Amino acid sequence: MKSELVDCIVLAGGKGTRLASVLSAVPKPLAPVAGRPFLDYVLDRLAASGVIGSAVLALGHLADQIVDHYSRCAPPLPVRMTVESEPLGTGGALRHALPLVTTDTLFATNGDSIVSIDWQTLLDHHRRTGAGATLALVSIADAARFGSVRLDGDRVVEFIEKKPGKGLINAGIYVLSRDLLATIAPGPCSFERDILPHWVERGLVTGVAVSEELLDIGLPETYADASRFLARQGNLSDEWKV
């Protein structure tokens, strides 16, 4: 079911300390991948989603480089930017970006990963269930690096500590109620550790398994994998849904 376009907050302010050995003076979202900054691929996906009308970039570390990049290279959809004056964590960054959001329902996504996803289906599920937050989930062979999510039907009931083995992981893409996001107190906090578990306890969170396709650049080895894949593929639309 087609609906009005919504905004998307892109979390792009982290320091990327785990990439320090391969990236020094460049913010992680601008990490070069097959000749382009990785964030360009993320914004391409949002522009092709069919449901996202504009993006809010939540910036922090080396924000001036990202601001400069998009002042010189037009993004594929309208972009607004907010810059945190101190590290706020993922939860604090989402709350800090909220004043720039113009829609009652919004997406949020990490700026260092891309998931094969039908955005409209995720949005429809969120609205049909009346959830406050809906998580996109990806099934992977080894969830040890991420921790996994346990569902009861489509309701998220538990976040499981990192352990080896197959599992559903939080893909870092969310549909959120603006009103619920506004209940986060301004200031530093982790969305994953401090906010989501509390919402799960209140029965406010659903989850949808979206695919098994995930590219991320959070570690040197996954950055190298993403670089090889995109150099070979050229773009994602040939193999991935948009």
Residue whose C-alpha is closest to residue 156's, from 146, 142, 170 = 170
pLDDT for residue 25 is more than 80? yes
pLDDT band at 234 (very low <50, low <70, confident <90, very high): low
Contact criterion met (CB below 8 Å) for 94 and 177: no
191 vs 205: CA distance, rounded Å? 13
Amino acid at 167: G
- The token pair that represents 22 in the structure block: 């391969």
Element (H, E) at 65: helix 63-72
From residue 145, give the alpha-carbon distance in Å to each of 12, 29, 135, 142: 21, 20, 18, 8
pLDDT for residue 22 is more than 60? yes
The pLDDT, as a whole number, for residue 242 is 35
Task: Enumerate residues 6+ apart whose C-beta is below 8 A from 130.
Answer: none
Encode pLDDT of 58-96 as tens digits.
999 999 999 999 999 999 999 999 999 999 999 999 999
- The token pair that represents 3 in the structure block: 């609906």
- The token pair that represents 143 in the structure block: 């969830």
Reported as half-sphere exposure (CB side, CA atoms, 13 A), residue 217 has a value of 34
Q: Does domain 6-135+172-207+216-233 have CATH number 3.90.550.10?
A: yes
Query: Percent of the chain beyond pLDDT 90?
Result: 77
Q: Domain ranges in the chain?
A: 6-135+172-207+216-233
From residue 4, give the alpha-carbon distance in Å to each of 98, 123, 211: 19, 11, 24
Rounded to the nearest 10°, the torsion over CA 70, 76, 82, 85 is -50
- The token pair that represents 234 in the structure block: 């050229």
71 vs 7: CA distance, rounded Å? 20
Degrees to nearest 5, angle at CA 137 with 133 and 139: 165
The pLDDT, as a whole number, for residue 212 is 64
**Bridge-based pairing state of the strands 36-37 and 32-33:** antiparallel
Encode pLDDT of 87-144 as tens digits.
999 999 999 999 999 999 999 999 999 998 999 999 999 999 999 999 999 998 888 8
Q: Determine the average pLDDT of the residues in 138-162.
A: 90
Encode pLDDT of 176-232 as tens digits.
999 999 999 999 999 999 999 999 999 999 999 987 678 999 899 999 999 998 888
The pLDDT, as a whole number, for residue 233 is 75
